[in-house]
Amino acid sequence: MTLAIDSVHYIDTTDSLLRRHPANPILTSKDWPYRINSVFNAGATLLADGSTLLLCRVEDRRGLSHLCAARSVNGVDGWNIDPSPTLMPDPIGYPEELWGIEDPRITYVPELEQYAVAYTSYSKGGPGVSLALTKDFRTFERYGVIMSPDDKDAALLSYRIGGLWALIHRPMTALGAHIWISYSPDLRHWGSHRVMMEARKGAWWDANKIGLSCPPIETPRGLLMLYHGVKQTASGCLYRVGLALFDTQKPDTCLLRGDSWIFGPEADYEHGGDVHDVVFPCGYTIHPDGDTLNIYYGAGDSCIALAQASLRSLLTWLDHNGAPGVLTS
């Protein structure tokens, strides 16, 4: 438990809130049925039969990414990986996908009885946000680019607010790399843009650049968000994960934001890889106990790893280590 009394009397005694699974890394390029460079940053969901689906970002040996589904009964091992790419970029129909598609976040939308996949489409204009709907992760209805570049790290909320769909995303603006939320009547036309949470400044672990990790976790106390913060150092960027809680019906109201990161690169497979010192969650599932979370993250932009956490413990930690508000020091 952390005793973060104030910035002067800060004492960190945080127990590990996210526990690495002993089977880590749970998926690597060696597991793939076809030749690839790396597999990382997977969206995750539970299917109707209780099994886990990961929609993995796969980078081929040209450097371009596509998405490939892997299914497992227990969400840890025994992965059944599609024998060929599940969703390839379509640069003819969708020029914004010229340099690949990356980092999917999956939201099951009860009203539509479909999964919404928000992913990064990458092309000459930079990264943008694209959306596709699917019932089965075999066929997809593409909505094309819904947030123009430079924008990424997006997920749809599973419910409407005041009749409107809501999308969390991370545009690069003159204000910086902050997390925003936007609204739409039809999933195609987006407006009413609001900042949800700003990157901190200066020496903070989440200074200058933050982005949504997994889709927010719906809890009775609000939307629990894992987000990544990027610290630029002399030896490169450090990607770590923090926690914040938002009002369910007014998601641009930040109820609590944690002070320290709760998860950062420590294991060899997180320090190494194609990009050093990256932990990058894009998906979670929740166990039948309603408390245990499986958090799937890309490690070192090279493999997929699993960490487990208690939802109750994350909220308790935020109670002790969080403060309200979007603006920080």
Q: In the complex, which residues of this chain contact ligand BMA (CB under 6 A)?
A: 41, 102-103, 239, 275, 278, 280, 298, 301
> Of 131, 93, 99, 98, whose CA–CA distance to 112 is shortest?
131
Residue carrying structure tokens 């002790």? 320
* Least Cβ distance, residue 263 to ligand BMA (angstroms): 15
* Least Cβ distance, residue 78 to ligand BMA (angstroms): 26
**Rg (the chain; Cα; Å):** 18
Query: What is the rounded distance in angstroms from the CA atom of residue 28 to the CA atom of residue 30?
Result: 5
Q: Which residues contact 72 (CB under 8 A, 6 or more apart)?
A: 51, 52, 54, 78, 79, 80
Output 218 or 272, the one with its CB closest to ligand BMA: 272
Output 197 or 278, the one with its CB closest to ligand BMA: 278
Query: What is the rounded distance in angstroms from the CA atom of residue 160 to the CA atom of residue 216?
Result: 14
Output 275 or 323, the one with its CB closest to ligand BMA: 275
Output 259 or 277, the one with its CB closest to ligand BMA: 277
Output 75 or 300, the one with its CB closest to ligand BMA: 300
* Least Cβ distance, residue 115 to ligand BMA (angstroms): 20
Query: What is the rounded distance in angstroms from the CA atom of residue 326 to the CA atom of residue 318?
Result: 15
* Least Cβ distance, residue 113 to ligand BMA (angstroms): 30
Among all residues, whose Cβ is closest to ligand BMA?
275
* Least Cβ distance, residue 239 to ligand BMA (angstroms): 6
For the chain, the first-to-last Cα distance in angstroms comes to 23
